[in-house]
């Protein structure tokens, strides 16, 4: 990792693997530790990667930009990330990154408000906290406000507050009336007396939030490795979706929390929105391209098919493998 070594942190989230002569070492870059990504941890814990001949280790990177950088440099062959504007802009300009799976096909945000706003009509004139302008929380806030029948540019004031903790402090202090909140922080918001006015996923927001991305070159050279990884991953997703108690314990390990309620909050949300068949989100990528096209009109000529490769998930789907995972007792 000679070019990015200074910025990389080894993510010691999994116990040491047992020796195996026939397993291929594979490093998976994680753009962040956030909700939904625990499905990868579950996949490793149940031994699905090993059953597919892979010895997968996780490497925590410093955000999506660095994840994309090391992927394109060839230092890492697969990442969890690569769905946002920077990745799709790079792809449009000829970079080799491509999405092969989307396992969180929405922005996992809700809008929580104080008791002075019992319904959407009362949201008019409210102050809403986001992280920063142009961020995913900003996009989600504007989407939810629009779907609630208001104009986010005229009817509310969207304020740059900072991270989730800082937004919660602003909500508690009364300096804002509402905030964008992600799971499992949604539990904390309810415990503090706030209530959910909108859930972006239930309002139909489609976005490639958590993805598996690789490169055209790696697909050409090691298609079987990509296939094996995704075969293991859909097995891990199936276990996650159908084994609540065990998955909650793994979430606690992954997020390093002791509170069962927090882990259950995360599970209930992400098990609902994680698809059994994680095809790369064509609709989500289309939305990202439309966002880029506002400032770069040339992107309007791009076709979504240039940015995704759904052939691996399609092969698993058409073979009956994925459906079979849910028929097992």
* pLDDT given for residue 33 in this prediction: 82
- Rounded to the nearest 5°, which phi and psi values hold at 71? -65, -50
Give the CA distances from residue 137 to residues 52, 115, 179, 187, 219, in Å, rounded to whole numbers and listed in that order.
37, 22, 9, 18, 33
Q: What is the pLDDT of residues 76-85, one digit of tens each?
A: 999 999 998 9
Whole-structure pTM value? 0.88
Per DSSP, 273 falls in state H
Query: Over pLDDT 90: what percentage of the chain?
Result: 80
The rounded mean pLDDT for the chain is: 91
Contacts of 317 (CB under 8 A, 6+ apart): 277, 279, 323
Q: What is the pLDDT of residues 271-301, one digit of tens each?
A: 999 999 999 999 999 999 999 999 999 999 9
Judge whether residue 11 has pLDDT over 90: no
For residues 204-212, give the mean pLDDT: 95
């Amino acid at each position: 990792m000679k070019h990015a070594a200074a910025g990389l942190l080894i993510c010691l989230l999994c116990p040491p693997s047992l020796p195996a002569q026939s397993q291929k070492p594979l490093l998976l870059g994680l753009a962040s530790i956030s909700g939904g990504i625990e499905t990868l941890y579950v996949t490793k814990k149940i031994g699905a990667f090993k059953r597919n001949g892979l010895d997968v280790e996780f490497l925590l990177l410093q955000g999506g930009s660095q994840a994309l950088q090391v992927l394109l440099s060839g230092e890492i062959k697969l990442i969890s990330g690569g769905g946002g504007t920077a990745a799709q802009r790079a792809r449009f300009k000829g970079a080799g990154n491509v999405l092969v799976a989307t396992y969180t096909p929405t922005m996992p945000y809700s809008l929580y408000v104080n008791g002075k706003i019992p319904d959407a009509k009362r949201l008019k004139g409210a102050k809403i906290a986001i992280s920063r302008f142009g961020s995913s929380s900003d996009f989600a806030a504007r989407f939810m406000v629009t779907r609630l029948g208001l104009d986010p540019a005229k009817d509310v004031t969207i304020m740059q507050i900072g991270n989730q903790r800082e937004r919660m402090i602003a909500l508690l202090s009364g300096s804002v009336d509402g905030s964008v909140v992600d799971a499992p922080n949604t539990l904390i918001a309810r415990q503090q007396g706030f209530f959910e006015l909108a859930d972006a996923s239930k309002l139909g927001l489609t976005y490639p939030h958590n993805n598996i991305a690789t490169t055209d070159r790696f697909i050409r050279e090691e298609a079987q490795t990509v296939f094996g990884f995704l075969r293991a991953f859909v097995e891990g997703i199936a276990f996650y979706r159908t084994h609540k108690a065990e998955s909650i314990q793994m979430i606690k390990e992954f997020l390093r929390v002791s509170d069962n309620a927090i882990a259950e909050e995360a599970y209930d949300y992400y098990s609902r929105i994680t698809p059994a068949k994680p095809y790369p989100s064509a609709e989500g990528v289309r939305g990202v391209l439309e966002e880029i096209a506002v400032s770069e009109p040339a992107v309007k000529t791009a076709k979504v098919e240039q940015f995704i490769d759904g052939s691996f998930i399609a092969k698993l789907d058409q073979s009956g493998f994925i459906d079979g995972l849910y028929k097992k007792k």
